[in-house]
């Protein structure tokens, strides 16, 4: 869950940054289709890019350089000992899952309502649509190539503007956008910027459709009056493009402003590197910065711990490391650190964590992640990692490494075995 939480955080940050760019730079421009593309690309990539990560420097899993001998830290417990693991993270997880389930059910409810209308009322071919004729007063709306329209409007000969509006929604495939928004909302329901994205993208849909009506030569004032009349007291559906969208005031305003200059297209050119920069920053492992300069894993003279060398390191770790009270698992924590030119420890970080099964007998290793080891609390693992890093940071008093006669930084990895046993007798 911790890994998924980090993904959600990165995704939320990307959404917020890109929405702010849209709101400040693009939202008042009349290039509605371009705005739609920007919002769609931002939305999709905000959910894809945080899945991937890269670092300036990385070490291949299971094949580390300068790996020191492991340090064993033991803890024993009585058979009756019970450790509670219902922590804050667990509560937040329950809240998040509950919200996601709620919005998922809401999404399914909308699908069921549309399905019910489609099979409940008669269907006809009508002006390029498969039209579902409703008995109640309902402003026309589309779902893919299906037009839901009231019987009064269906039998009227004065709805050409509305039909052109709905044709625009169909031809531009706006229903795909709306479905994507619903799926993204289920994942990021807690993030206020996903709701702003919904409002912005649906607004651009309406601007595109309104613009198509005016380009067809319909009277602007008459169309605006029709919009106002149709917006009163009409129920809308989340999964459809409705004729009466709530942002009526904004729509009327966008129909009256002058078309954006062609020079404004420069803004859209700027948005491309901005998108790339945003997603690159979301994927970078910032812990790796500052470790490349003058850093080696192979040197002529290795860094040496003055208080007993490698054995001294092991004794120091054993003496100073405390098995966290919250922990009832056995694990192998690989801590990577750098001995700098002054003989001090820097850049200590956990690069791998493995859960140990039956550490007292035949040891088997399971790579830890929240999906493959759901029974292991993320807080328990975090406590082990934090304690390992804390102690390694206390290590000082090294003689720095040398390469080609120059003092350099050297990188090490030390495995720390946290072994949970059971008292006999």
Residue 352 shares a structural domain with residue 417? yes
- pLDDT given for residue 318 in this prediction: 84
Q: Tell me if 260 is assigned to some domain.
A: yes
Residue 294 shares a structural domain with residue 409? yes
- Distance separating alpha carbons of residues 362 and 344, to the nearest angstrom: 37
Residue 213 shares a structural domain with residue 357? no
Number of domains in the chain: 2
> Is residue 374 a contact partner of residue 380, using CB atoms and an 8 Å limit?
no
Residue 301 shares a structural domain with residue 398? yes
Q: Tell me if 134 is assigned to some domain.
A: no
Residue 360 shares a structural domain with residue 402? yes
Residue 198 shares a structural domain with residue 319? no
Residue 227 shares a structural domain with residue 161? yes
Q: Which domain holds residue 16?
A: 2-55+155-283
Q: Tell me if 409 is assigned to some domain.
A: yes
- Distance separating alpha carbons of residues 374 and 334, to the nearest angstrom: 21
- pLDDT given for residue 376 in this prediction: 56
Q: Tell me if 66 is assigned to some domain.
A: no
Domain boundary among 283, 315, 334: 283
Domain boundary among 250, 268, 283: 283
Residue 318 shares a structural domain with residue 244? no
Residue 303 shares a structural domain with residue 261? no
Domain boundary among 283, 303, 337: 283
Residue 231 shares a structural domain with residue 378? no
Q: Tell me if 126 is assigned to some domain.
A: no
Query: Pairing mode, if any, of strands 330-339 and 141-143?
Result: unpaired
Residue 267 shares a structural domain with residue 306? no
- pLDDT given for residue 356 in this prediction: 73
- pLDDT given for residue 272 in this prediction: 85
Mean pLDDT, 10 residues at a time, the chain of 425 residues:
75 91 92 95 88 53 51 50 50 90 95 94 92 87 92 84 92 94 94 94 94 92 84 61 65 88 88 83 55 62 87 86 76 87 89 70 45 59 86 89 88 83 50
Q: Tell me if 215 is assigned to some domain.
A: yes
> What is this structure's pTM?
0.63
- pLDDT given for residue 291 in this prediction: 43
């Amino acid at each position: 869950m911790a890994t998924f939480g980090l993904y959600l955080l990165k995704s939320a940050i990307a959404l917020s940054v890109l929405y702010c760019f849209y709101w400040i730079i693009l939202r008042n421009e009349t290039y509605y289709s371009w705005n739609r593309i920007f919002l769609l690309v931002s939305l999709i990539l905000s959910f894809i890019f945080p899945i991937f990560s890269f670092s300036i420097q990385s070490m291949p899993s299971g094949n580390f350089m300068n790996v020191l001998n492991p340090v064993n830290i033991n803890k024993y417990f009585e058979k009756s000992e019970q450790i509670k693991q219902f922590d804050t993270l667990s509560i937040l997880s329950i809240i998040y899952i509950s919200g996601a389930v709620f919005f998922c059910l809401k999404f399914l409810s909308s699908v069921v309502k549309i399905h019910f209308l489609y099979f409940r009322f008669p269907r006809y071919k009508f002006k390029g649509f498969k039209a579902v004729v409703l008995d109640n007063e309902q402003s026309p709306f589309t779902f893919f190539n299906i037009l839901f329209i009231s019987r009064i409007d269906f039998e009227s000969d004065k709805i050409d503007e509305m039909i052109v509006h709905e044709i625009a929604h169909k031809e531009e495939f706006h229903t795909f956008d709306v479905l994507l928004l619903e799926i993204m909302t289920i994942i990021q329901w807690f993030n206020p910027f996903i709701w702003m994205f919904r409002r912005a993208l649906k607004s651009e849909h309406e601007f595109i459709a309104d613009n198509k009506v005016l380009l067809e030569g319909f009277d602007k004032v008459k169309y605006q009056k029709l919009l106002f009349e149709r917006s009163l007291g009409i129920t809308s559906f989340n999964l459809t493009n409705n004729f009466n969208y709530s942002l009526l005031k904004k729509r009327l305003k966008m129909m009256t402003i002058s078309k954006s200059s062609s020079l404004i297209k420069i803004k859209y050119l700027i948005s491309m590197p901005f998108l790339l920069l945003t997603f690159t920053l979301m994927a970078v492992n910032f812990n790796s910065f500052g470790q490349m300069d003058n850093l080696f894993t192979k040197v002529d003279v290795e860094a040496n711990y003055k208080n007993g060398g490698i054995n001294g390191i092991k004794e120091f770790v054993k003496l100073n490391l405390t098995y966290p009270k919250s922990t009832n698992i056995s694990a192998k924590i690989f801590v990577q650190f750098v001995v700098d030119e002054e003989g001090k420890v820097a850049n200590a970080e956990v690069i791998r964590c493995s859960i140990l099964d039956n550490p007292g007998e035949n040891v088997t290793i399971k790579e830890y992640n929240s999906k493959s080891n759901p029974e292991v609390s993320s807080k328990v693992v975090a406590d082990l990692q934090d304690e390992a890093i804390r102690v390694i940071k206390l290590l000082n008093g090294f003689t720095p490494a040398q390469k080609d006669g120059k003092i350099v930084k050297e990188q090490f990895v030390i495995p720390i075995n946290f072994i949970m046993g059971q008292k006999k007798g």
